[in-house]
Amino acid sequence: MRTSPKDVKMASELSTSFTELMGCAFPLIAGPMFLVSDEGLVSAVSEAGGVGAMPSLNWRTPEKFREAIRVIKARTHQPFAVNLIVNQANTRQDQDLEICAEEKVPLVITSLGSPKKAIQKMHAVGCKVFCDVTDLEYAKKVQDLGADGVIAVSTGAGGHPGKISPFVFIPYLKRHLQIPIVAAGGIATGQQIAAALILGASAVQIGTRFIASEEGKVEKNYKQAILNAKPEDIVLTYKISGTPASVIRTAYVDKVGLNLNPIETLLYKYPQTKKYMKMLRYHLGSKALEKAAIGTTWKEVWSAGQGAGLIDEILPAAEIIRKLMEETHQTLSTPLTHLR
């Protein structure tokens, strides 16, 4: 029997500083994923007690992006999030931030740049800002700027992963920060959620698990690739954005290689050309991901994290959350002597 969002809401809530801050039932963000996170998935996750998140750039124009926000607000009164890329390569960042403020998006998650403007803008309308971080130095900077929390992106993450193991990164940040920490990177089970909470996180961000959801509107071959993938199949490529990004190894990925060509590498070294190279590489990489995610093509480029190795079935988002939280509660309540 399938579980409805209402049924999931009746599951035991798990209170942390994150859930108290955001007003949600469970300490879980469904990671904002290019092409995957749309109105249906975001609203389903939020209705089920988590925080659904989406990149603003999943919509081709700011107007379409605003429409998507309003669709989500019509479907759920629960908190949701928007991811904004805040570096120079994103020429829409100011427009999209303005829309987030006008629509009072409950949570903005910033990536790949300075969050200063986003923090000021969203705080002015009573909303929260969390920032992706991959090291302590940057985490301290965003805390000083007034960020409400950080997304600790560790090794194993989909998208642009960090370089530090979560077993080190989470407690390391916990020693030095006073704001909530959200663990991200390779998480696909309740046992991992429990471990992250024990290490000092107040929530987790899970992406790849929700690609293999019924609401994830991507090509069925993409979902099947998630089910088939082993952790060893996740490789880092510079071909998507110029920054290492996690993808499933396929014949096409092997064919084109993982590194930039010599000319691109040279152009990335100079400030005068780096900005334009980032924009070009992001455009080309996004097109490749889009073709593989929403249509049938031999050019198979599928984004995923190492957590794919722990995923073996496609379920509704609400059922995924129910199972995750049951596993989390069970793990946290199991005496250490009985753990195997």
pLDDT at 239: 73
Residues 70-87 have a mean pLDDT of 96
Q: What is the pLDDT of residue 293?
A: 47
Q: What is the 3-state secondary structure (H, E, C) of 197-214?
A: HHHCCCEEEECHHHHCEC
Rounded mean pLDDT, 274-298? 54
DSSP 3-state assignment of 80?
A: strand
Closest by alpha carbon to 158, among 55, 65, 60, 259?
Answer: 55
- For residue 5, is pLDDT > 60? no
Q: For all residues of the chain together, what is the average pLDDT?
A: 88
Domain limits of the chain?
5-217+311-338, 220-294
Ranking 17-31, 121-135, 222-236, 288-302 by mean pLDDT, the lowest is 288-302
Contacts of 100 (CB under 8 A, 6+ apart): 56, 69, 82, 84, 108, 118, 121, 122, 127
Q: Does domain 5-217+311-338 have CATH number 3.20.20.70?
A: yes
Q: Residue 187: which residues within 8 A CB-CB, separation 6 or more?
A: 193, 196, 204, 205, 206, 209, 307
The whole-number pLDDT of residue 283 equals 54
Using a pLDDT cut of 90, give the percent of the chain over it. Answer: 69
Those residues with Cβ within 8 angstroms of residue 131's Cβ, 6 or more apart along the chain or in another chain: 109, 110, 111, 115, 139, 142, 147, 149, 150, 151
Predicted pLDDT at 177: 98
Residues 6+ apart with CB under 8 A from 194: 327, 328, 331, 332
Is the pLDDT reported for residue 298 higher than 70? no
Most confident of 18-32, 215-229, 254-268, 285-299: 18-32
Residue 297 pLDDT greater than 60, yes or no: no
Quick one: pLDDT band at residue 167, thresholds 50, 70, 90? very high
Place 266 in a pLDDT band, splitting at 50, 70 and 90. low
Q: CB burial class (10 A; 0-12, 13-18, 19+) of residue 78?
A: buried
Q: Residue 10's pLDDT is what? A: 52
Paired with 83 in beta bridges are 55, 109
Residue 265 in this model has a pLDDT that exceeds 70 = no
pLDDT confidence of residue 267 = 53
Instruction: Pick 115 or 287 by higher pLDDT.
Output: 115
* Rounded CA separation 139/22 (Å): 20
194-219 pLDDT, tens digit per residue, is 999 999 999 999 999 999 999 988 88
Strand partners, 80: 52
pLDDT at 191 over 50: yes
| 224: Cβ contacts below 8 Å, ≥ 6 apart | none
Instruction: Give the lowest-confidence range in 42-56, 60-74, 212-226, 296-310.
Output: 296-310
Answer whether residue 291 shows pLDDT above 70. Answer: no
Task: Concatenate the DSSP letters of all residues of 217-261 into one string.
Answer: -S-HHHHHHHHH--GGGEEEESTTTSS-EEEE--HHHHHH-SS--
pLDDT at 276: 55
- Tracing tokens 């954005």 back to the chain, one arrives at 241
| Burial label, 314 (beta-carbon count in 10 A; 0-12, 13-18, 19+) | middle
pLDDT for residue 259: 66
